[in-house]
Structure 1
Amino acid sequence: MFHRFRRRAALVAAGALTLTMAACGSGEESDAENLDDNRVGAMSEYGVGTQFKATEPLTFSMLYNNHPNYPNRKDWLFWSELNKRTGVTIETVEVPLSDYEQKRGLMIGAGEAPMIIPKTYPGQEAPFVASGALLPVSEYLDLMPNFKDKMEKWNLKADIDTLRQSDGKFYILPGLHENVWPDYSLAVRTDILEELNLQIPKSWDELYTVLKAMKARYPDQYPFSDRWSKPTPGGNLFNIMGVGFGTRGGWDYQNYSWDAAAGKFVFTGTTPQYKAMVEFLNKLVKEGLLDPESFTQDDDQARQKLASGKSFVIGTNAQTLVNEYRPDLAKLDPNAKIVKIPLPAGPAGDVKRGTRLENGVAISTKARESKNFVAMMQFLDWLYYSDAGQEFAKWGVEGTTFTKDAAGKWTLAKDIDYVALNPGAPKHLQKDFGFGNGVFAYGGPTKLLQSTFSAEELEFQQAMAAKKTLPVDPPHPFTDEEREQATLWETPLKDYVTQQTLAFILGQRDLAQWDAYVAEVKGKNADAYIDLLNKAYERFKKEHG
C-alpha cells in the first residue's frame, strides 16, 4: 500500500447498482446470459456470505507481482489454505516487482498474459481496451455478488464510473474501499514546537507561522526540507498542498481539473488556485523557510537533514514516520519527538481528496472462452470482495496466524510479526505465511483496513475522517482517436508546467510573468486539449447519463 497515492493518484445509496447498470447502455449484461458452456466447476448457488468452493478441482493462471520483501514460496500456508477453502490452485507467472508494469504491458499486448492480471491500477488498462485484449468485466457483475453488494452498500457508483471507457464499460475490477483513506502528510518535530510554545498547525497559513518562528530561533537552517521529488519534483508536497488549495500537483497532477461551478474541465496549471499554491511556495523559499534543494535532493539527503537537526518538517506517511524518521532521530537526538500531522486546511477549506478505488484485477479476454469462466469469476469475487476472503488474505487462518474476539477485533499470533505489531517475533506474516500480500490483500471495510493501524495512526485517521471529502471528477473517456491525439499533447504540457512551476517557486522566474506563462501554455495546445476533454465529457454524459 506504500505507493498507493504515488502510483495513482491520477491518478477514487440504494439504487446505485441499477443506475450503474443503466449508465453502461443497453445490454451490458447480455453476454452473461450465454454462459451455459462456461460453468464447469462453478457453484449453482453462490451469493453474499457464501464460501466459494469449486465443484471440482480447478487451476487458474495468474500474473504474479513478486515482491522482494516477501518473495513467493510454494510452501506458504496461503496457497494450501486457499486450495483447501476454494478447491482452486493458482498457477503463478512470476514477474519481479521492478519489471512488473513493463512485463505486464508486453504480455497483454502480445496476447500472452495469464487469465488473471492483478496489481493493475485504474488507468493502466486503458491502452489495451481497443485491441480487445482485456475483458469488459462490467458485463459480468452478476457473477460477482460480493462486488455488487459493496458497490451498492458503499455508494461507489461515482467512483466506479471513473473507470468507464468511451463504450460505457469498464475493464478492471478495482479494489473497493469503504472510505477514502488518506496517508501522506507532513511530519513535524513536536519537541521544537514545545520549545517555541507553538501548537500543531491546522492550516497552511498556521504552518507558515510555525516555520517563521523556527527560522527566527534557528536562523542558519531551513526549517522545512522535503523529500519524494524524484522522479516527480514536489511529488508529495504539491500533492498534499493541492488539496487545500483546490488544485492538483506533484504525484496527483493532471493537466485537467473539474470546475464544478462552470460545469466543465479547465487546465490545471493555469488556474488561479494553482497560481495561489505556487505563490505560497515561492514565499516559503524566498523567506528561507523551505529548503530549495527539496525539489532536487535524494530522499536520503532529506532524511539526513532531519536526523541531524538541520530541518524540522518533512513529508511523511505512516510507515516512513515509524520505520525511518524515528529510528534516524533516536540515533542522534534521543529527546527528539516527531509526529504525522493531519493534512493542513487551505483556501479550499478543511478537505480531503481521494478515490475509494485501489489497484485491482484485469482479466484476459481469452478467459471468457474457458469452460471454468463462471467459477473463476466466483472465485475472484470471494477472494477479493467477500468479507471472509478479505480477512483471509490480510490476516490468514484463525487460530494459527491470528485470533478474533467477540467484538471482532483481530490479534496477531504472538510468534508472528507484521507492520511492527510483534517486534522481534521469530516469524513474519508475509515472508513465512504469504498473508498481507499486496497481490491479494487490499480494499475492504474500514475496520479491516485499520485493524493493523497503531493507536497513533488511528487518531490521525479519525482527524482526517472529520474533513469533507471532495467529489470525484465526472467520467470523460476518450475515443481511441481522441486518446491518440491527447497523448501527443499531455506529456509536453505536463513537463512544461512542471518546469515553470519550479522556476516560479525558486525565484528563477518572476511571478509578474505569470500571464506570459499562461500564454505559453496555451501555445502548447492547452486549450485544444481541454476542448477535446470537455467534448468527451459531454458525449459520455449524453450517451450514458
Structure 2
Amino acid sequence: MNQMFKKVTAVFITVSMFTALFAGCSAKKDDKQSSLPPSTQDGNVPTLEEDAKNPVKFSIFVGEGKFPKGNEPVLQEITKKTGVSFDIQSVASNAKDKLSIMLASKDFPEIIMMGRDDLFYRYLDSGELVDLKPLLQKNAPKMYQILSLPGNGELTKRFEQNGKLLYLTQDAEMLRQGEKPFEDLEDPNFVERELPWHRALYVLYPEIQNIYGKKINNLDDLYTALKAYKAKYNDKNHYPISMSSTMGEHMIWAAASMYGYKVLSYGIYGGIYATKDGKNYQYTFKLPEMLNFFKFLNKLYREGLMDEEGPIQNDDQFQQKMNGGKVFSMIGNWDSIYTANSTLLSNAATKDEIFIPQKLMAPGVDKVWQFNYAYTGNNAMVVTKKCKDPARFARFLEALYTNDDVQVLNGWGIQGQDYIIKDGKRDISADIQAKMEADPDYGLKRGLNFFNNVINILGYASDGQPASNWNAPFYQSDEGQDPRDKTVTGSPLNWHNDWAGTFYKDYDELDIYMKADSPEARGLAQSQTLVNDAVSKMVLAGSEAEVEQIYKETIQQMETNGISAWEKALNKEISDRRNINK
C-alpha cells in the first residue's frame, strides 16, 4: 500500500472538505458538565489531569460526507484523557446554503470547519468569532509557539487580521524547531511515494506496457497510445480516454502544468491561476496555450478515442467505468485514481491492474511544476461566540500538541487494536492492514485521525516517532507495499523518480482572497461557473472552428463578468507582498 493509506483512509473527511463548504447547528451544553476546577477560578491554567475530571462536550460542524459521531472507541479514549468530547454534526447536502443560513440567523455550533472561500471571509467580518490569539497564548502556549515558527510558515502571524487570530487551518504538517519533514521535497533524488498532488495524465498498467511499451511524455505520445488501445479493443465497452462533465477545471490544471506553468489554488478551488515567471499571473482558462489543448480533446472525441459519454456523464458514472478496468486513461485528479486502484485490487479479474501517472511536457517545456509546498493548510477551523468555554477548547488543542498519549490515540488509535509495538516502535501489522483494506470506513468507525481534519497536527510525537499511522514503517516494507506498485517500480515505467525538482516554495502567492461582495470576487465566481460546461461543449464540438468559437465566446463572457479585474487585483496583491517581503 505504501503511503496510499494516508489519502485513502482520510478521504471520508479530506476530499469532502476539499470539494464542499461546511455548515452547522446550535451549540449544545452537556448536561453532565461539572463546575470548573478551582485553578480556573483563581486565574491559573488547569492541568490536563484537572480538566479530565470535569467533562465538557463541544458541538462541531464538519460538513458533507461521512464523519465519526463522536462516540467511536478512539474518541472515547481521548475523552478519558482530556475530559473533552464532541457532538460531531454534518449535513447530507447543500452545506454552503446551510452555512449562509447560519450566518444570517446567528445560529451557530461552537466550532465550525469550513472552506476558505468568499463565504468564509464573510464569517471573519461577522463579529461572531472568538479571537484565538489570547486564548492560545495563555492556554496553549506551546502550540502557539510551534504555529509561529518560520519553518511552519509563521501561521499565527500570517492568519492574523487587525490584531486578531480568528481561525486556524488543517491538513498541513507542523514541525518543532529542528525537526525535518518526512519527505525532503527539495532533494534532487526525491522519490515520490504517493500520486502527484497536482493534476496529471493517468494510464492503466500493464496495458500501457502491452500496447505502447514506454512512458507517455507528450500529447503526440498520448495520441499514439490511444490509437493503439482503440485498435486492440475496438468495441463500445472499452474507452481509450474518459472524463466526466465536472472535470474541466482539473483537466485545465493538468494542461497548464504540461505547458510549464506553476498553478495555484484559490481558497477551496483548485488550479485557478498560474504563472511562468513568478511576476505575471493569469486565470488558467485564459492561458494562451489552452485553445490548442481543447482542440486536442476535441480531436480525440471526433476520432472516437474519447468516451462519447464522457463530456455529459456525472462523476459516479465516470468512476464506475474507471473501477472496471475498461478505461485506459484520464486527465485529472488523484482522488478518483485512488478509488479505482483500490477497487481494481479487490477484484480477482483486475487485481494486477493499476493506474499510474505520466509527466507530460509540451514541446519547448523543460520544467514541470507540481506544487507550491509553502502550504498553510486547507480548510479553516473557527470558534464561534456560542462556545461555552473557549479556553477549555484551547487547552484541548494544547494536549494534541504536547501530550503523547493524546497524540498517539488520535494518530494511531488503541495499542493492540489499531497498532502494535515492533522493535520498540509503533507500527501497523499485516492483520491490522487487512482489516483496514477490508473496510473502507475502518478509520471512520474507530475515530482515527479525526483531529487531523480539524487543525494542523504535528508530524512527530515527542518521542521522535511519527504522530500518525500514515507514516507507519509497515508501508515502507516489502510486505506493506502494493504488489502492483512493486512491479511498476521494477519496470521501465517506474514513475516515482520522475517528479524530483517539481516543488517550490513561495508564500507570497498563496492564500489570496477578495471580499465576496467585491466586483473582483464576483467576476471570478461568475467566470468559474462557465468552465466545466464550456470544456464539455468544446470536446463535443463538430469541428475545430466550433471549438474556437465556443472558446472565444466563453472568454468574452468572462471579460464581461470582470475576470480581468480579478487578475489585476491578484497581481497587485502578489506584487505588494513581494515588495514588503524583499
- Taking the aligned partners of 1:214 and 1:374, their CA distance within structure 2 comes to 61
- Taking the aligned partners of 2:166 and 2:573, their CA distance within structure 1 comes to 16
Say which is worse superposed, 516-525 or 249-258, in terms of deviation.
249-258
1:158-169 equivalences under 5 Å are none
**Equivalent residue, structure 2, for 1:146:** 143
Per-residue CA shift, 1:467-521, capped at 9, x if unaligned? Answer: 51144562575564x7432343223222334443333333356255556654553
**Equivalent residue, structure 2, for 1:14:** none
- Taking the aligned partners of 2:157 and 2:307, their CA distance within structure 1 comes to 41
Within the candidate set 371, 374, 381, 1:353 is matched to: 371
- Taking the aligned partners of 2:143 and 2:495, their CA distance within structure 1 comes to 26
**Equivalent residue, structure 2, for 1:195:** 210
**Equivalent residue, structure 1, for 2:26:** none
Q: Does 1:112 align with 2:107?
A: yes
**Equivalent residue, structure 2, for 1:94:** 89
1:35-434 equivalences under 5 Å are 44=45, 54=51, 57-65=54-62, 72=69, 74=71, 76-86=72-82, 88-92=83-87, 94-98=89-93, 101-117=96-112, 119-123=113-117, 125-137=120-132, 142=137, 143-146=140-143, 148-149=145-146, 152=149, 154-157=151-154, 171-177=167-173, 182=196, 187-196=202-211, 198-201=213-216, 205-220=220-235, 223-227=239-243, 229=244, 232-234=246-248, 236-245=250-259, 246=261, 257-259=273-275, 261=277, 263-303=279-319, 305=321, 310-314=326-330, 317=335, 319-327=338-346, 330=348, 334=349, 337-347=352-362, 349-353=367-371, 356=375, 357-367=377-387, 372-383=389-400, 389-406=406-423, 408-411=425-428, 414=431, 418-420=435-437, 423=438, 428-431=442-445, 433-434=446-447
For the 8 Å contact 1:493–1:524, the answer to whether it is kept is: yes
Percent identity between the two aligned chains: 17
- Taking the aligned partners of 1:161 and 1:501, their CA distance within structure 2 comes to 40
Deviation at 1:233, TM superposition (A): 3.8
- Taking the aligned partners of 2:579 and 2:264, their CA distance within structure 1 comes to 30
The alpha-carbon distance between structure 1 residues 410 and 133, as it changes in their structure 2 partners (threshold 3 A), is: same
Unaligned runs of 5+ in 2: 1-9, 22-37, 174-180, 186-193, 461-465
Q: Which amino acid aligns with 1:337?
A: D
Say which is worse superposed, 532-541 or 264-273, in terms of deviation.
532-541
Length-normalised TM-score, structure 1: 0.73
Q: Which amino acid aligns with 2:56?
A: T
For the 8 Å contact 1:256–1:268, the answer to whether it is kept is: yes
Deviation at 1:7, TM superposition (A): 5.2
Deviation at 1:375, TM superposition (A): 3.5
Deviation at 1:534, TM superposition (A): 3.6
Per-residue CA shift, 1:379-433, capped at 9, x if unaligned? Answer: 123337876544322321224432132363422594786531xx489x95532x3
The alpha-carbon distance between structure 1 residues 470 and 527, as it changes in their structure 2 partners (threshold 3 A), is: same
The alpha-carbon distance between structure 1 residues 255 and 531, as it changes in their structure 2 partners (threshold 3 A), is: farther
**Equivalent residue, structure 2, for 1:26:** none
Q: Does 1:455 align with 2:481?
A: yes
Say which is worse superposed, 338-347 or 450-459, in terms of deviation.
450-459
Q: Which amino acid aligns with 1:62?
A: S
Deviation at 1:219, TM superposition (A): 4.5
For the 8 Å contact 1:63–1:92, the answer to whether it is kept is: yes
The alpha-carbon distance between structure 1 residues 296 and 42, as it changes in their structure 2 partners (threshold 3 A), is: farther
Deviation at 1:352, TM superposition (A): 1.4
Deviation at 1:52, TM superposition (A): 7.8
Q: Which amino acid aligns with 2:567?
A: I
Say which is worse superposed, 444-453 or 403-412, in terms of deviation.
444-453
Q: Which amino acid aligns with 1:213?
A: A
For the 8 Å contact 2:257–2:368, the answer to whether it is kept is: no
**Equivalent residue, structure 2, for 1:445:** 459
Deviation at 1:91, TM superposition (A): 4.5
Unaligned runs of 5+ in 1: 12-36
- Taking the aligned partners of 2:391 and 2:338, their CA distance within structure 1 comes to 39
- Taking the aligned partners of 1:366 and 1:38, their CA distance within structure 2 comes to 23
- Taking the aligned partners of 1:322 and 1:311, their CA distance within structure 2 comes to 12
- Taking the aligned partners of 2:442 and 2:108, their CA distance within structure 1 comes to 31
For the 8 Å contact 2:201–2:358, the answer to whether it is kept is: yes
Q: Does 1:435 align with 2:448?
A: yes
The alpha-carbon distance between structure 1 residues 130 and 379, as it changes in their structure 2 partners (threshold 3 A), is: same
- Taking the aligned partners of 1:56 and 1:305, their CA distance within structure 2 comes to 53
Per-residue CA shift, 1:240-266, capped at 9, x if unaligned? Answer: 444333276999867952536362432
Per-residue CA shift, 1:170-214, capped at 9, x if unaligned? Answer: 623333235687467555332323432513435555433322322
Deviation at 1:320, TM superposition (A): 0.7
Q: Which amino acid aligns with 2:153?
A: L
**Equivalent residue, structure 1, for 2:537:** 503
**Equivalent residue, structure 1, for 2:509:** 474
Aligned CA RMSD, in angstroms, stands at 4.6
Per-residue CA shift, 1:311-347, capped at 9, x if unaligned? Answer: 322465464134434446x4xxx26732131352334
- Taking the aligned partners of 2:42 and 2:219, their CA distance within structure 1 comes to 57
Deviation at 1:66, TM superposition (A): 8.3
Within the candidate set 552, 555, 561, 1:524 is matched to: 561
The alpha-carbon distance between structure 1 residues 5 and 83, as it changes in their structure 2 partners (threshold 3 A), is: closer
Deviation at 1:132, TM superposition (A): 1.5
Deviation at 1:297, TM superposition (A): 1.2
Deviation at 1:294, TM superposition (A): 1.8
Deviation at 1:128, TM superposition (A): 0.7
Per-residue CA shift, 1:235-290, capped at 9, x if unaligned? Answer: 54444444333276999867952536362432332122433533443343344332
- Taking the aligned partners of 1:287 and 1:160, their CA distance within structure 2 comes to 54
